Amino acid sequence: MTYNFDPDKWYDNELFLIQSKLKTGGIAQDEFDKACEILYKNYEEMWKRLDGTYQIEQPCNK
């Protein structure tokens, strides 16, 4: 199975949503700060899960 998932794009999209909520008054600054902290933690955890999952098959030496 192949994935065309871009963690950086995901992070940017999620951050944009949180920033939009702050700008429109949907959340307070302290909620924004906490949401950013959680988002970054999730981003780091995602990279840990994705890191090393793709490996190129080594050719046989004859």
pLDDT digits (tens, 9 = 90+) for 30-54: 999 999 999 999 999 888 877 665 5
> pLDDT: is 61 or 25 the higher one?
25
Q: Is the pLDDT of residue 11 over 60?
A: yes
> pLDDT: is 3 or 30 the higher one?
30
What's the one-letter identity of residue 27? I
Q: Is the pLDDT of residue 56 over 80?
A: no
- Residue 38 has which token pair? 């959680």
46 Cβ contact list (under 8 Å, min separation 6): 7, 10
Q: Is the pLDDT of residue 29 over 90?
A: yes
Exposed/middle/buried for 4, CB within 10 Å: 0-12, 13-18, 19+? exposed
